[in-house]
Amino acid sequence: MKIYKLLLYMLVNLMLITSLSGCKAKTSVLFQDTTCKYPCWQSIRPGSSSSQEAIQFLSESPFVDSPPTIVPQNIVGAYSYTGLKFKTGYFEDGGWIAFYNDKVVYIEFDINNHIKISDLIAYYGKPKFSSIISGEADTRWLQVSWIYPDQGVILIHYEPSWKSNGGQVNVTPDLPVYEVYYFNPDSFDSLADSRIFQMVNKEIVLKSIQPWVNFGPESYTDSEEP
């Protein structure tokens, strides 16, 4: 019986060591890119890169798994999109690139709540503005955005089911980030009524933008306001 227990103990430990040796800590494609400075990513520059250039850069990227091969249609006066799928080992599963008149407007990264806002602010620095908006769909949702208009970066925390507490939101350093956007700084005003802000009224978006001070209780803007 003692020999059996010893063999079982050794087998369990061997399995544990084997599994741990195969583990690799995940990291972010945002932190690993050294080809250019945000909002440029993997040589894709919002505001100047064409759809063909973006597809070419994606096909050469060490982060991308199965890059798109079809160039999005050049639809004059409308957005078109192409999807991204990243290799395993990164926090991001994928993302999107948006084009307008065949130029990259923004790159979206699905963080999927794997990185805290405090870690991203440590990386990008202090944001200039924030936006806090809530609205009703099937349930009440909340979107907190930290905005770097000059750097072309937006960080977004999103809760699809949220309970209001006296008209305020407790913005804490451990809030998980749902999405990150890299955009052309010159196009920020036109993005205020895009999918980045949940397609709410542009006037509501602009009303919600306030100087970012610090973490703590903050008032939110209701998207249902007239």
Rounded Cα distance, 171 and 222, in Å: 16
Model confidence at 215: pLDDT above 80? yes
Rounded Cα distance, 59 and 142, in Å: 36
pLDDT for the residue 11: 39
Residue 224 vs residue 114, higher pLDDT: 114
Predicted TM-score of the model (pTM): 0.84
Rounded Cα distance, 112 and 26, in Å: 13
Q: Which segment of 10-19, 138-147, 163-172 scores lowest on mean pLDDT?
A: 10-19
Q: What average pLDDT does range 105-129 have in this prediction?
A: 95
Name the helix (H) or strand (E) containing 112.
strand 103-116
Note the pLDDT tens digit of each residue in 75-90: 677 788 888 899 999 9
Domain residue extents for the chain: 26-222
pLDDT for the residue 12: 38
pLDDT for the residue 25: 66
